[in-house]
């Protein structure tokens, strides 16, 4: 373990590959009818770049970094908040056939 | 204030577990919503942990930026119609990719370009993929929102131009990894990636959007993952890769559902090639028979079994609620009503399911292609509402057809077929549908919503 820098890289690469296999496993169990919520749900999850945006903006010490970080912050927050609410709205709609008694009132 | 990197890492691990469970819960509509809540908890933990890290300042900017972003996201999420969901997903893909690219740019700037090769590689990949995803998603959004034509936009030598642009970006990327430390290099890289993003989505037609959107989704995930390498953040690496895996899987599924390779979808510029194909058949004496709502109402009311085949036309006309009302009326008359959902019906994976769920159609009434196809021979009426290419029997029989080999719904095997269509214009694939010339088929022309409303009236009057 002479070169710690590249060891970190290899460990991170390992995590990446394992996450890829895990992702394929988990996603392949999602039924076709939920593919749109899956897309918007994963949309929400890639909003995790907000962590990067906070780090950049929070540690920014010149105008260039502040500008870039600020834009990234706006985009990432829109991604997180919008992605989550859209997914929630969609999933709320998926219902089973209501029981005869609880059928919604007509007219 | 959290200064211990182990504590930070552990909190991020909790967030990771939340994200994985969120996706796991999506395996059934019963607890899918709970899964999304769990994902939300994970995100809050990740954000809170990051905010509490040592050395975070510029609070005013963070709060203002978050407030603007949250307001935009919230209003967008609340206001968007379910029919416009593909655009919305495209847009969120874009902003996520843009944010990833910006973070990479900032890290490059902070380091003064003086990066170890592995950090340089991650930075380049994040900037490259993020920028492509950003520009490509905005074009996809513009196409779906019909700000620009949904038809393929092509010019001679397009693929060559695209390859040259991408190759130039890659060469600069390699130079940066190899030690080129100038700011202009990464700027040029981003500009080239943006150009490529625009150029590669422009020639892709509306019907191929499910593939493109899935792929942009994967790109943004991968960009986020690359950003994770730049920042040495496990939560970014894992969460980004989960999205990358999901998008990749969906891309492959969609391409398979159209029996085309991903490369063919991306570079084929579908719908331009076969100007003459299918024309000859229209001249063989068979004609299209138009019908009226009253006739269809009689047909439907006295049927034992009806299968509804929704397509993009239903989405455009926003007819899903009326379709469901019609189905309810028929069920009250004792008709067995089912819905047949083709995997690429609509403009994104699962598009029809969401629209019908919005109209309160229980998901137990929706059937996938493989489940429902054996039922068409016992079906009295197949009611096709704004679907076209996914019902074209030419996909089974005509080797010269561009959609030959694509799995379709066997609508033509039903005892009778009613096609609701705006006009005789061919579908997005730009080919004639032989189904319309079938002697068992009648056409009900008009806007899907108006036609369905007329049908409801006629069925009620009986």
More confident residue, B432 or A79: A79
How much is the pLDDT for B363? 86
Cα–Cα dist A105/A95, whole Å: 16
Nearest to A85 among B66, B77, B360 (CB): B77
Does A23 contact B246 at a Cβ distance shorter than 8 Å?
yes
Nearest CA in chain A to B84: A86
Q: Which residue has the tokens 């920028």?
A: B131
Nearest to B69 among A28, A73, A93 (CB): A73
8 Å CB contact between B429 and B453: no
Pick among B39, B246, B254, B370 to test the A interface (most A CBs inside 10 A): B246
Does the pLDDT of residue A101 top 90, yes or no? Answer: no
For residue B187, give the 3-state DSSP assignment. helix
Does B99 contact A80 at a Cβ distance shorter than 8 Å?
no
How much is the pLDDT for B429? 55
Nearest CA in chain A to B68: A74
More confident residue, B112 or B415: B415
Across all residues in chain B, what is the average pLDDT? Answer: 89
Does B39 contact A58 at a Cβ distance shorter than 8 Å?
no
Instruction: Please enumerate in sequence order all residues whose Cβ is within 8 A of that of B112, keeping only pairs 6 or more positions apart, or say none.
Output: B181
Q: What is the pLDDT of residues B405-438, one digit of tens each?
A: 889 999 999 999 999 988 776 655 556 788 888 8
CA distance B181 to chain A (A): 17
Determine what percent of chain B is predicted with pLDDT higher than 70.
Answer: 94
Cα distances (angstroms) measured from residue B178 to each of B120, B126, B182, B310: 8, 16, 12, 53
Does B39 contact A41 at a Cβ distance shorter than 8 Å?
yes
Does B57 contact A70 at a Cβ distance shorter than 8 Å?
no
For residue B340, how many C-alpha atoms fall within 13 Å in the half-sphere facing its CB? 28
How much is the pLDDT for B377? 95
Q: What is the pLDDT of residues A35-64, one digit of tens each?
A: 999 999 999 999 999 999 999 999 999 999
Pick among B17, B47, B73, B340 to test the A interface (most A CBs inside 10 A): B73
Pick among B50, B63, B103 to test the A interface (most A CBs inside 10 A): B103
Which of B68, B445, B98 is closest to B290 using CA atoms?
B445
Does B362 contact A19 at a Cβ distance shorter than 8 Å?
no
What confidence category does residue B404 fall into, taking pLDDT thresholds of 50, 70 and 90?
A: confident
Torsion angle of alpha carbons B345, A93, B136, A52, nearest 10°?
-150
Cα–Cα dist B30/B18, whole Å: 18
Q: What is the mean pLDDT of residues B283-301?
A: 83
Does B72 contact A78 at a Cβ distance shorter than 8 Å?
yes
Q: Which residues of B touch A36 (CB under 8 A)?
A: 85, 89, 348-351, 353-354
Q: Using alpha carbons only, what angle is made at residue B9 by residues B6 and B15, rounded to the nearest 5 degrees?
A: 145
Sheet holding B416-421, edge to edge: B366-368, B336-341, B305-310, B381-385, B416-421, B441-445
Q: What is the pLDDT of residues B179-227, one digit of tens each?
A: 888 889 999 999 999 999 999 898 887 778 889 999 999 999 999 999 9
Q: What is the mean pLDDT of residues A4-13?
A: 80
- Cβ contacts below 8 Å, chain A against chain B, sum to 377
Does the pLDDT of residue A104 top 70, yes or no? Answer: no
Report phi then psi at B154, rounded to 5: -130, 155
Does the pLDDT of residue B269 top 80, yes or no? Answer: no
Q: What is the mean pLDDT of residues B109-136?
A: 90
More confident residue, B328 or B280: B328
What confidence category does residue B113 fall into, taking pLDDT thresholds of 50, 70 and 90?
A: low
Does A73 contact B66 at a Cβ distance shorter than 8 Å?
yes
How much is the pLDDT for B50? 96
Nearest CA in chain A to B58: A58
How much is the pLDDT for B307? 96
Q: Which residues of A touch B235 (CB under 8 A)?
A: 48, 51
8 Å CB contact between A78 and B72: yes
Nearest CA in chain B to A9: B118
More confident residue, B279 or B460: B460
Which of A76, A93, A79 is closest to A37 using CA atoms?
A93
Nearest CA in chain A to B229: A12
Nearest to B77 among A16, A58, A82 (CB): A82
What confidence category does residue A4 fall into, taking pLDDT thresholds of 50, 70 and 90?
A: low
How much is the pLDDT for B449? 92
Beta strand B441-445 pairing with B416-421: parallel
> Which residues of B have a catalytic role annotated?
389
How much is the pLDDT for B230? 92
């Amino acid at each position: 373990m002479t070169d710690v820098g590249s060891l970190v890289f290899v460990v991170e690469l390992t995590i990446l590959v394992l996450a890829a296999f895990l992702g394929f496993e988990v996603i392949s169990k999602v039924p076709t009818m939920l593919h749109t919520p899956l897309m918007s749900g994963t949309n929400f999850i890639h909003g995790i770049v907000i962590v990067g945006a906070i780090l950049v903006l929070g540690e920014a010490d010149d105008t260039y970094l502040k500008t870039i970080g600020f834009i990234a912050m706006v985009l990432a927050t829109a991604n997180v908040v919008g992605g989550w609410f859209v997914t929630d709205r969609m999933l709320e709609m998926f219902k089973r056939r209501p029981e005869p008694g609880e059928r919604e009132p007509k007219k | 204030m959290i200064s211990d990197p182990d504590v930070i890492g552990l909190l991020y691990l909790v967030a990771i577990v939340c994200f994985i469970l969120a996706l796991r819960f999506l395996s059934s509509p019963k607890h899918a919503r709970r899964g999304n809540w769990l994902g939300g908890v994970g995100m809050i933990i990740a954000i809170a942990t990051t905010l509490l890290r040592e050395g975070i300042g510029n609070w005013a900017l963070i709060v203002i930026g978050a407030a603007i972003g949250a307001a935009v996201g919230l209003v967008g999420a609340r206001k968007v119609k379910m029919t416009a969901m593909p655009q919305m997903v495209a847009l969120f893909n874009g902003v996520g990719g843009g944010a990833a690219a910006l973070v990479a740019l900032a890290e490059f700037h902070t380091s003064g370009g003086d990066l170890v090769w592995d950090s340089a590689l991650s930075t380049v990949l994040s900037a490259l993929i993020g920028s492509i995803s950003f520009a490509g998603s905005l074009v996809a959004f513009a196409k779906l929102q019909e700000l620009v034509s949904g038809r393929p936009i092509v010019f001679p030598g397009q693929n060559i131009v695209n390859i040259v642009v991408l190759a130039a970006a890659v060469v600069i990327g390699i130079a940066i990894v190899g030690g080129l430390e100038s700011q202009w290099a990464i700027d040029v890289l981003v500009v080239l990636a943006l150009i490529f993003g625009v150029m590669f989505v422009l020639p892709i037609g509306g019907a191929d959007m499910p593939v493109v959107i899935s792929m942009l989704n994967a790109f943004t995930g991968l960009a986020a993952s690359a950003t994770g390498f730049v920042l040495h953040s496990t939560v970014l690496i894992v969460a980004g890769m989960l999205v990358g895996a999901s998008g990749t899987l969906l891309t492959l599924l969609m391409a398979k559902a159209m029996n085309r390779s991903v490369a063919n979808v991306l570079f084929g510029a579908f719908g331009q090639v076969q100007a003459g194909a299918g024309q000859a058949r229209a001249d063989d004496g068979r004609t299209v028979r138009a019908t009226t709502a009253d006739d269809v109402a009689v047909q439907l009311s006295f049927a034992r079994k009806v299968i509804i085949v929704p397509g993009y036309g239903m989405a455009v006309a926003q007819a899903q609620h009326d379709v469901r009302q019609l189905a309810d009326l028929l069920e009250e008359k004792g008709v067995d009503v089912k819905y047949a959902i083709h995997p690429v019906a609509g403009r994104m994976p699962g598009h029809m399911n969401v629209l019908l769920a919005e109209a309160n159609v229980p998901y137990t009434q929706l059937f996938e292609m493989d489940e429902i196809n054996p039922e068409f021979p016992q079906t009295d009426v197949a009611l096709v509402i704004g679907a076209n290419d996914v019902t074209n029997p030419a996909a089974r029989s005509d080797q010269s057809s561009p959609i030959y080999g694509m799995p379709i719904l066997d609508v033509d095997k039903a005892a009778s077929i009613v096609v609701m269509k705006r006009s005789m214009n061919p579908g997005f694939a730009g080919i004639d549908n032989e189904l319309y010339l079938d002697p068992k088929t009648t056409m009900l022309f008009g806007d899907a919503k108006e036609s369905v409303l007329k049908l409801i009236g006629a069925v009620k009057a009986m």
